[in-house]
Each structure stands twice: as C-alpha cells, then as structure tokens.
C-alpha cells in the first residue's frame, strides 16, 4: 500500500507556490443544498478562481469543508443578499458577467469567445430556479450543448465546464500574445 507522508493541507500549501490565478471568478445563486456550494468552492480552487460570489445563503464553514475537498481556505467567498446587489458590484468593479443558462437566445459555449479585456465572473444558477432574470439582462448568456438525452447538468458540473473553457481560452489567448 502507498501512503502519503504529507497532509492534504501540506500538499495544497506546496501547490499554492506554483498555482495560477486567473481574472475569473464564479458566482452561485442561493444554494440551499450545502453540498453544491462545497463542490463549487472546489471548482473555483481547481481552476484558479480567487473568488466565489454567493447570492443568498452561505452555510457554516464546517458544512462546506468536506465537499470542497478542504479547499474552503483557498477561495474567498463574498455573499450578496440580492441579484441587484451582485450586478451593481460587478458593474462597479468592471467585471463582465457570463451566465450559464438554458434560455432561447443563449450562445453555444462551443462558439462563445470569452473576452479578457476585463475580469469575468461565470454565473451558475440554482438547480430549481436558474439564473435570475436581472443577472441575465446584464450578462452574456451561454449554454452548454448536450447532444445526449439529458438537457440539464448539475450546477457544479456546469460550473466545471464553464470554468474549464474560460481558463482554456485565457491560456490560448496568452500563448498567441
């Protein structure tokens, strides 16, 4: 059997020395299922997002720790009470909102080009209610094409795909420049 001599925290702290951070953040809408928020903390940490904005309820740290893979200490969580408060903050800070949602005029993620002239925030909706209209009106709206029988992913799965594509495009842009 192979055993590790370092703790998870020690491995994270070591990787932190070379980890990349991107001008990308993630936003979640009013989660009542604590597991999803933990998974989104993990997604943000793995893809180099420094912040996770949460509109609505943020559970106790202990409820997020296990599903975040203990990455809760590596991602800043900023809470907002309402979608309008979030949108106002993004406008104030010059952050472009890109929302993942299944709506009629959403652009396919396959053909969408992230614009990194300013920081971006990827928004994923609540599994029951989606992304609030107020945010959609202030965002580029994209959808993840799903050619199989299913049409809707779990929130954390959608966040992983959106973050992956944003990071991939950022890296490709920097290679060209």
The pTM of the full predicted model, rounded to 2 decimals, is 0.93
List pLDDT tens digits, range 82-102.
999 999 999 999 999 999 999
For residues 117-144, one letter each, b for 16 or more C-beta atoms within 10 angstroms of the residue's C-beta and e for the rest, the string is eebbbbbbbbbeebbbeebbebbbbbbb
Structure tokens at 3: 């055993």
Query: What confidence tens digit (pLDDT) does each residue in 24-73 have?
Result: 999 999 767 667 899 999 999 999 998 999 999 898 888 888 889 889 99
Kindly give, in sequence order, each residue whose CB lies less than 8 Å from that of residue 86, ignoring residues fewer than 6 positions away: 27, 53, 55, 80, 135
């Amino acid at each position: 059997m192979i055993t590790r001599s370092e703790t998870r925290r020690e491995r994270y702290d070591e990787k932190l020395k070379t980890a990349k951070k991107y001008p990308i953040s993630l936003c979640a809408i009013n989660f009542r299922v604590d597991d999803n928020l933990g998974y989104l903390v993990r997604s943000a940490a793995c893809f180099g997002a420094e912040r996770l904005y949460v509109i609505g309820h943020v559970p106790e740290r202990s409820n997020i720790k296990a599903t975040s893979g203990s990455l809760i200490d590596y991602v800043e969580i900023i809470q907002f009470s309402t979608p309008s408060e979030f949108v106002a903050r993004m406008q104030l800070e010059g952050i472009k909102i890109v929302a993942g949602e299944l709506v009629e005029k959403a652009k396919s993620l396959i053909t969408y080009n992230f614009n990194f002239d300013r920081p971006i925030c990827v928004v994923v909706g609540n599994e029951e209610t989606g992304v609030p209209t107020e945010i959609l009106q202030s965002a580029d709206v994209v959808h993840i094409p799903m050619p199989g029988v299913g049409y809707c992913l779990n929130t954390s799965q959608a966040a992983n795909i959106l973050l992956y594509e944003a990071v991939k495009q950022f890296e490709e842009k920097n290679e060209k420049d």
